[in-house]
Amino acid sequence: MTRLRAWHLVAGTAALAVLAAWSLFVGVSDLTLAGLLDGRPDDVRVLVESRLPRLVAILLAGTAMSVAGLVMMHLVGNRFVTPSTAGTTESATFGVLVATLLAGGEALIVKMAMAVAFALLGTFFFMAVLRRLTFRDMMLVPLAGIMFGGVIGAATMFVAYRADLLQSLGAWTAGDFSGVLRGRYELLWIAGAVTVLGYLYADRFTVAGLGRSFAINLGVRYDRVVNTGLVLAAVITAVVVVTVGEVPFVSLIVPNLVTMALGDNLRYALPATALTGALFVLLCDILGRVVRFPYEIPVSTVLGVIGSAVFLTLLGGGKRMGLR
Amino acid sequence: MIEIKDVTKRYGDTTVVDRVSLTIRPGGVTSVIGANGAGKSTLLSIISRLIPADAGTVTVDGLDVATTPGELLARRLAVLRQDNHMSVRLTVRELVAFGRFPHSGGRLTARDHELVDEAIGYFELDGLADRHLDQLSGGQRQRAYVAMVLCQDTDYVLLDEPLNNLDMRHAVHMMRRVRRMADDFGKTVVLVVHDINFASCHSDTIVAMRDGAVIAQGSTAEMMRPELLREVYDLDIGVHEIGGSRIGVYFS
């Protein structure tokens, strides 16, 4: 097994810094280093109003979503149960729709509150169903979760159709960072803060992942810790859905790749997952920006293509790599 | 001292533990024997607060297990259940180190690391310490689990079928280690054991259960009698003195 070494983190952070710096200069508006150094007002404005917020949003969303996935799969004890395969994401989207119907499109706080409430409801409902399921097959459980998400997605679609909001729905669900401007992404800091909180819980999460009796034996309040983790995952998902939309596959493949290499001790896996998630989403976003320059491909599309390819590889080679 | 008073547990209409009262004195090895479904494991789980009793109380050194904070109890009493399905990928060393969690949280001290190494050595896991649990055989995993419980360094150690998955050599070694945990470290060990001869050779006290009730309790010599064993198992078991131990013969 590979151990997490300091140089892994250093190398990862360095790669992230390079990509991040590069990402600031990728875009339609002409922004050059020389211009910035000269202090040209246009360049500075583009940087402060658009490029920097976008970068921060990407890093926060990528980090938070991967950590949400890691915590959820670990606590459920199934590597394929993540916010995107347990109905959490779809529930959050439903919440956004309901908030829009009730309070109009602009009330961001209402949207977020609703998204969080629905994400929590959906997640805990699915967990309650999971406890009653007699099959515990590694693949069937996430399949049930995907079906559950599908049902919620259908209900969302139906309500949106009736309310003539289908187009807006399309805009929210496709995760996209191109609309991120200063003043429109700051809620993501909440997801960032919740992620840090998750790190403080890392050991307790690991212990809870050992199973109920191990956790109780070691003096960990099992139910409380599991619920904390699920709330954390639901809140992160909801915040990301509200601010940038659904970012598919990140919460599924990043934690799986990291734990395959480093094992399930969250003390090490969690920071590594956070870093890898940020790297992965940033890379995909830059790709979406340069592939058809000057047009942009939404990051959700890029993630969908790359993510599904990685996921299929994981499934195919899973057994060999110790992923049952 | 573990004091069990009128403990009852029901699942639906079935009473699996029926008004059990029992005192386990500090020190020594106590084995709980009985046929399948006699309620041994359930009783052990109730003592170790893994499942709540429907009625009655259990106290460990005066602490009621139902109300004492879990983290406090985790420094007094350790338990290992029988079936441990673990899908988590940890190394043996990481798992054993979590035995120190009740004492140090996640931050291990130098002393903690010593104890971890000691427990790993004690169960001959040195060569496997950096392997993932899912790469081990059932018996190796079982040893890793018990090593974790030993590392927890509690006064009371409760083990449900610790010989599960172990071959003869490792089973004997496990029982000798259990014995030494009591003799050298002064721990109070309570075991659920299927093999009466392991119980006979390595324990001080035997508790016999049948249909959820404790039907007899006494020293090994008192308990290893054909009449009593017949009552416990519904089976004719001849008892012979071999090499200073009472051995039950029931194979033919």
Which residue from B71, B106, B135 is facing A267, i.e. has the nearest CB?
B106
- Note whether B50 contacts A213, CB cutoff 8 Å: yes
Chain A contacts of B73, Cβ < 8 Å?
A: 219
Enclosing domain of residue A192 = 52-321
CA distance A212 to chain B (A): 8
Q: What is the pLDDT of residues A202-221, one digit of tens each?
A: 999 999 999 999 999 999 99
Assembly ipTM? 0.92
Structural domain includes residue A210 = yes
Quote the percentage of chain B above a pLDDT of 70. Answer: 100
What residue in B sits closest to A3 (Cα-Cα)? Answer: B130
Instruction: Work out how many CB contacts closer than 8 A connect A with B.
Output: 84
- Note whether A265 contacts B134, CB cutoff 8 Å: no
Distances (CA, A) of A174 to A27, A294, A298: 20, 20, 7
Task: Give me the residues of B, 112-171, that contact A with CB < 8 A.
Answer: 130-132, 134-135, 149, 152
- The CATH number for A259's domain is 1.10.3470.10
CA distance B77 to chain A (A): 8
Alpha helical stretches, state H, B92-137: 92-97, 101-104, 110-122
Greater confidence (A138 vs A198) lies with: A198
Structural domain includes residue A10 = no
Please report the pLDDT score of residue A33 as a whole number: 86
Which residue from B84, B91, B95 is facing A1, i.e. has the nearest CB?
B91
Structural domain includes residue A45 = no
Please report the pLDDT score of residue B77 as a whole number: 97
Q: Is B104 part of the contact surface with chain A (CB cutoff 8 Å)?
A: no
Question: Does pLDDT of B86 surpass 90?
Answer: no
B246: helix, strand or coil: strand
- Which tokens sit at B106? 């996640």
Lowest model confidence (mean pLDDT) among A75-79, A190-194, A236-240? A75-79
CB neighbourhood size of B61 (10 A): 15
Please report the pLDDT score of residue A139 as a whole number: 82
CA distance B176 to chain A (A): 24
Structural domain includes residue A71 = yes
- Which tokens sit at A70? 């890691």
Q: How many domains does chain A have?
A: 1
CA distance A207 to chain B (A): 8
Q: Which pTM value belongs to this model? A: 0.92
Structural domain includes residue A255 = yes
Which residue from B45, B74, B106 is facing A219, i.e. has the nearest CB?
B74
- Note whether B89 contacts A221, CB cutoff 8 Å: no
Q: Is B91 part of the contact surface with chain A (CB cutoff 8 Å)?
A: yes
- Note whether A213 contacts B81, CB cutoff 8 Å: yes
> pLDDT-derived band of residue A194, with 50, 70 and 90 as boundaries?
very high
- Interhelix angle A6-23/A266-290, nearest 10 degrees: 20
> pLDDT-derived band of residue A324, with 50, 70 and 90 as boundaries?
very low
Smallest Cα–Cα separation from A260: which of B125, B95, B132?
B132
Cα–Cα distance between A48 and A45 in angstroms, integer? 5
Please report the pLDDT score of residue A302 as a whole number: 95
- Note whether A219 contacts B98, CB cutoff 8 Å: no
User: Which of A75, A213, A217 to probe by mutation at the B interface, max B CB count within 10 Å?
Assistant: A217
Angle value at C-alpha B110, between B106 and B112, nearest 5 degrees: 55
Q: Is B87 part of the contact surface with chain A (CB cutoff 8 Å)?
A: yes
- Which CB contacts under 8 angstroms, 24+ apart, belong to A143-149? A145/A81, A145/A85, A145/A86, A145/A87, A146/A85, A148/A86, A148/A87, A148/A122, A149/A84, A149/A85, A149/A86, A149/A87, A149/A88, A149/A89, A149/A90, A149/A91
Smallest Cα–Cα separation from A35: which of A19, A20, A51?
A51
What residue in A sits closest to B74 (Cα-Cα)? Answer: A219
Q: What is the pLDDT of residues B103-144, one digit of tens each?
A: 998 889 999 999 999 999 999 999 999 999 988 998 899 999
- Note whether B87 contacts A77, CB cutoff 8 Å: yes
CA distance A252 to chain B (A): 16
- Note whether A264 contacts B79, CB cutoff 8 Å: no
Structural domain includes residue A177 = yes
Quote the percentage of chain A above a pLDDT of 70. Answer: 96
